[in-house]
Amino acid sequence: MPHRFIASIAFAVIAFTAFPSLSEDNATVRHQYTNPIAAGQDPCVVRDGDRYLWCQSDNYQISLHVSDSLTKLGEKHVIWTPPQGKMYSLEIWAPELIKIRGRWFIYFAASNGQNINHRTYVLSAKTSDPLGEYEFHGPLYTGDEYETKSNNLWAIDMTVLEQGDKLFALFSGWTTIDSDIQNLYIAPMKSPTETCGNRVLFSKSDDHLWERVEEKLDTRGLNEGPQVLRHGVRTFVVYSCGASWLSTYKLGLLELTGKNPLDPASWKKFPEPVFQSTDSTYGVGHGSFLEVPSLHRASGGNSWWHAYHAKNSREGGWDRSIFVQSMTWNSDGTPNFGRPSTRGENLTFP
């Protein structure tokens, strides 16, 4: 993936409006807000108790933003700044904050300033506090010769799938050491900071025309940004495809239908994109999903939310902003992301 840039636009103004409560059981407090909520890209947000943690990078360091609302990033805390002159000192992309077996981890890609050298690294929290100190690990092995651990290969956008008592690394990788065709791979993990086997290709990036960077047969395929999305007993992986620097960026969907995640036959790819550009909001993708607990019994259950980025211009490039909007579930159990919200549209967050 080409170099990413932090957008320079100012944070969007968020207006909050409280509606009067009727009783303790059916009281509702609703916040009005507009998209985008902030400048940035590749939003990773998790709920930690009564607060939201946004994990972000400015290409040179990793920060957590702490907020009491899903509709604003909140206070910034710098978590990690790399030493200078290392193979992981620059181009720090798409950090992913994950709590695994009671401990916080941050997965990210980094290089020495040359994209061909991007590999995946991980920070592990030394305490239970996600804002505390972290230990550096990596690079994780993401190649095809695990026994000798030679010829480690380009890898970005790593996340972790927990399946039973096993862990699996999901990431976007190049087919060869100098190819820029990005497929989705999976690898077994010995621990949250170490893989223990060769990668397995489980989503080829040109199965459909809409997965190619310009949606044309003579352009390359590109799959990246895998995100695990669970609902009931079903496990989905939402991924980004097309070109992050163009309006073709969009989301595709995979489902784990077999028992062994390392078997490509265990994965079903859906034939159509599940979230894509509109005339007013374009280049949408690479986000995260979370279930927000209901504050009141009368509200009808928890709600689901989708954070993603969109381009600020139809011109090629990485000037992007962060959007947040609700999502639902179809009657057949598949996710329904709706359409990207329009910039400046008034939305309600319960």
Which candidate, 239, 246, 179, places its Cα nearest to that of 216? 246
In sequence order, what are the residues at sequence separation of 6 or more whose Cβ sits closer than 8 angstroms to the Cβ of residue 148?
none
Alpha carbon distance 161, 130 (integer Å): 20
pLDDT at 300: 56
pLDDT at 15: 34
One digit per residue, the tens of pLDDT, for the chain of length 350 reads: 544 443 333 333 333 333 233 233 333 456 899 999 999 999 999 999 999 999 999 989 999 999 999 999 999 999 999 999 999 999 999 999 999 999 999 999 999 999 999 999 999 999 999 999 999 999 999 999 999 999 999 999 999 999 999 999 999 999 999 898 999 999 999 999 999 999 999 999 999 999 999 999 999 999 999 999 999 999 999 999 999 999 999 999 999 999 999 999 999 999 999 999 999 999 999 999 999 886 544 445 789 999 999 999 999 999 999 999 999 999 999 999 999 999 998 998 76
**DSSP readout, 307-346?**
EEEEESSSSSS--EEEEEEEEEE-TTS-EE---PPPTT-E
Q: Tell me the longest C-alpha to C-alpha distance in the chain.
A: 66
pLDDT at 302: 86
pLDDT at 31: 80
Q: Which amino acid is located at 174 in the chain? A: W
Alpha carbon distance 342, 344 (integer Å): 6
Alpha carbon distance 194, 121 (integer Å): 10
Sequence spans of domains, the chain: 31-337
Q: Which amino acid is located at 285 in the chain? A: G
Q: Which amino acid is located at 77 in the chain? A: H
CATH architecture assignment, domain 31-337: 5 Propeller (2.115)
pLDDT at 42: 97
Asked if 109 contacts 156 with a C-beta cutoff of 8 angstroms, the reply is yes
Asked if 241 contacts 210 with a C-beta cutoff of 8 angstroms, the reply is yes
Alpha carbon distance 224, 184 (integer Å): 6
Confidence (pTM): 0.90
**Cα 252–281–349 angle (5° rounding)?**
85
Alpha carbon distance 350, 335 (integer Å): 20
